[in-house]
Structure 1
Amino acid sequence: MIRVRKIVRHLEETWLENGQDVQPRHRVAFVGVVIENPYPSAYVQDLVTLADELGEEIGSLIGPACVELLGDEVEAFGKAALVGIDGEVEHGSALIHNLRFGNVFRKAAGGTELLPAAEKVGLPGSPIDIPLKHKLDAKTRSHHQTVTLQVADVPRPREIFVICAAANAGRPLARLATFGAEVKAGS
């Protein structure tokens, strides 16, 4: 049912951070699909019915592929939708805030937490910042991170770029105290 223009696969591997060796190497995988916006340009009240029909198909295209591209155990994950200017942010939200989409990626990654997300409308070449959190415990502070993806010709006006992102670790050189430690210390 979806019309795919392209699949984007991108892998980053960080070896040094602030002059310090990063061990294990910090890897972030992005897999996204650029689809024709399935919603009309004109206002439509019901976005959920179509999102329910498309969610699993989109998730199956990019969720397992993202895990495979990472080539390592997923520790953190997130999702995003970048909508072309002839659409609305709610179009992207409908597609990614749908358990039929998210459950495919969550299962492939071995996660239990809800996927953090970002969605926006943008011109071709707009960057999208994707929040990541730990796949089993969203309060694991070391895994709160934001990664950016940018593709020169994406999205065109009647397109939506749907992305899954996964990391094999928390932030490079993470060294903050555990969640809530500052409150306990000040008690």
Structure 2
Amino acid sequence: MSIVVRKIVRHREETLRENGQDVPRTHVVAWVAAVIENPYGTDGYVEDLVSKADAMGQEVGALLGPATVELLGEEVEGFGKVALVGIGGEVEHGSAIIHNLKFGNEFRSAAGGTELLPGAEKVGLMGATIDAAVKHKLDAKTRSHHQTIPLSIPDAPRPDEIVIACVATSAGRPLARLATFGAEVGGADKANEGVAR
């Protein structure tokens, strides 16, 4: 099956300062989105979504995954994915494409990742914003890389379209300084030593 693409949108940004501070490493974010025709149509309920999902997922993943890594221009540390379905479709249409190993494997391979890709999907009007959840590509528990990246395209999705995007980051949050998971327990106990209870 071949996807019908109306447009490809590329976005890249670099954060150099945050809250009056220079960031230790330039924080680069990149996403590449494809605005595609909804392969499941807008004529009502379709029972079988699976038969198209593998081919669609692989094709879209192969289109977007390597392009996102190339656009980032840095080693990928964090990644995520989104599907924004036009109002003529349903959220399950987007989920069928992005929550699919064929899609995920294309992006993981390009990014050098091993973790499952965090995803977000919803139905929205043209120009709606969707927040892409991002986590570390090798360890989803790395708290510094937990962040959300907003994504929107002014003229998409039309009712019969889906916006599919891959998102990549070159680092954790610009001024990430929270302790690793579990550190608070030991830290709190140490801070409270000698305190009457």
TM above 0.5:
yes
CA displacement 1:118-157 (0-9 Å, x = unmatched)? 0000000001100000000000000000010111001000
4+ residue runs over 2 A deviation: 183-187
Unaligned 5+ segments in structure 2 are: 190-197
CA displacement 1:99-134 (0-9 Å, x = unmatched)? 000100001000000000000000000011000000
Aligned to 1:78: 80
Aligned to 2:27: 26
CA displacement 1:26-58 (0-9 Å, x = unmatched)? 000000100000002211111111111211110
CA drift at 1:95? 0.4
Alignment coverage as a number of residue pairs: 187
Aligned to 1:123: 125
1:5 and 2:13 matched: no
Aligned to 1:183: 185
Give runs of aligned pairs for residues 11-90 of structure 1, distance below 5 A.
11-41=12-42, 42-90=44-92
Let me know the Cα RMSD of the aligned residues: 0.9
> Distance between the aligned counterparts of 2:16 and 2:75, measured in 1?
18
> Distance between the aligned counterparts of 1:112 and 1:21, measured in 2?
31
TM-score by length of 2: 0.93
Work out the percentage of aligned pairs sharing the same amino acid. 70
Structure with higher Rg: it is 2
> Distance between the aligned counterparts of 1:134 and 1:109, measured in 2?
11
TM-score by length of 1: 0.98
CA drift at 1:23? 2.7
Give runs of aligned pairs for residues 85-104 of structure 1, distance below 5 A.
85-104=87-106
> Distance between the aligned counterparts of 1:124 and 1:48, measured in 2?
26
SS of structure 1 residue aligned to 2:3: coil
Aligned to 1:141: 143
- Conserved 8 A contact 2:28-2:171: yes
CA displacement 1:64-98 (0-9 Å, x = unmatched)? 00000000000000000000000000000000000
Q: What amino acid maps onto 2:108 in structure 1?
A: R
Q: What amino acid maps onto 2:60 in structure 1?
A: I
> Distance between the aligned counterparts of 1:50 and 1:29, measured in 2?
28
Q: What amino acid maps onto 1:16 in structure 2?
A: R
Unaligned 5+ segments in structure 1 are: none
CA drift at 1:184? 3.4
Aligned to 1:151: 153
SS of structure 2 residue aligned to 1:49: helix
CA drift at 1:15? 1.0
